[in-house]
Amino acid sequence: MIELEGVPELIDPVMVAAFEGWNDAGDAASTAVAHLDREWKGEVFAALDAEDYYDFQVNRPTVWLDNGVRKITWPTTRLSVVRVGGDKPRDLVLVRGIEPSMRWRSFCNELLGFAHELGVEMVVVLGALLGDTPHTRPVPVSGVTSDPDLARTMDLEETRYEGPTGIVGILQEACTHAGVPAVSLWAAVPHYVSQPPNPKATLALLNRLEDLIGLRIPLGELPEDARAWQLGVDQLAAEDSEVAEYVQTLEEARDTAELPEASGEAIAREFERYLRRREPGSAPPPGGHATESGDATYLRDTSSGRTRPPKPVRPEAGPGQPGGPGQSGGPGQQDPVKPPSDGPDDRSGDSRAGDSGTADNRPDDEPDGDGPDSGPADGDGADGPHSQD
């Protein structure tokens, strides 16, 4: 039995989770949860035992000084609760950690135990993967679920993926088998500029999450960071004519695929978000209410600040070829990619429906390969196209 002393009864709680590593290209998903925690001033109320789930030779602990006292931060998964104020207050249970190295079933069961005790109504898991998508276009974000009823009622895609998966896919299936509604939101990060951070992908995930759970999320400096990131990548890509030509090829393929969707529902969705953000009194109050129990002084948020966008990788291998998307490379892996002679390989499957339309060849479940700082994962390796979850 999980005892949560000091945590009040929650109001319509939704659990939002993200994990660094294989499922987190450009650190877009984990940064999104960190943004929610920071904007609503969440405080950690629980942390999973690192000994049970992590290989410390892969994800090493760090030593730091606190007023001259040496302390250790262990790789783990932390949970916090934030209360979002307004006319209809609601609580979020934020889960942020690293993809575990072992005992995935026990890991998911422990998170589900917290969800049960807190009365969580739905679990939303955020992820990001590498895709054949140009940095100059809106980031494609797709929502998938294993629940056919949830897919119909929330306008989501029902996953049909078969193949290797990461902790995002495992947690979603665990929720489904436990009778807890679960959704995965995936952002496609351009594979030719996959190094973190990617504020544009983080912003796209938060916008889609906002639509899904019906809360207005304070975005802070993210829109400005996203614009600066795109301008920086524009300038760096312009220095290499081969990369610039490849980006233009991706733009043409993306625009052609989205042309039928460039009206009606997509435009209405964007206009509704525009109106919501300008409704008087709709903004949540600054900060939020968080609860904490237990001693969590050994934990520390080590998230870094903004950095200059990295130089795009010079193309050398085509999508669908060894070293390119759809092979052993995965979210956050920085293998170079060469523009194919006849345009992007349509088998890639890493481009998906976004806030502004439907991208070409949407995958059904899990991204390929290893993400930044990822530990060993079950089924880690070549994944093939059409992967997400």
Question: Backbone phi, then psi, for 70, in 5-degree steps?
Answer: -75, 130
> What is residue 136's predicted lDDT score, i.e. its pLDDT?
87
- SS3 state at 130: strand
Contact 21, 128 (CB under 8 A): no
> What burial letters (b/e) apply to 59-92, b meaning 16+ CB within 10 Å?
beeeeeeeeeeeeeebbbbbbbbbbbeeeeebbb
Both structure tokens of 94: 């934020």
- SS3 state at 188: strand
> What is residue 256's predicted lDDT score, i.e. its pLDDT?
79
> What is residue 276's predicted lDDT score, i.e. its pLDDT?
55
- The CA-CA-CA angle for residues 371, 154, 168, to 5°, reads 20
pLDDT tens series, the chain, 389 aa: 466 767 778 889 999 999 999 999 999 999 999 999 999 988 789 999 999 999 999 999 999 999 999 999 999 999 999 988 777 788 999 999 999 999 999 999 999 999 999 999 999 999 999 988 899 888 999 999 988 888 988 889 988 888 889 999 999 999 999 999 999 999 999 998 888 999 999 999 999 999 999 888 999 999 999 999 999 999 888 888 888 888 888 888 887 776 555 455 555 555 555 555 555 444 443 333 333 333 332 233 334 444 445 555 544 433 333 333 333 334 444 443 334 434 334 433 343 333 433 344 344 444 443 444 444 344 444 343 344 44
Nearest to 196 by CA among 79, 32, 367, 58: 32
Q: Summarize pLDDT for 349-385 with one digit per residue, the tens.
A: 343 333 433 344 344 444 443 444 444 344 444 343 3
Q: Summarize pLDDT for 63-92 with one digit per residue, the tens.
A: 999 999 999 999 999 999 998 877 778 899
Q: Summarize pLDDT for 184-202 with one digit per residue, the tens.
A: 999 999 998 888 999 999 9
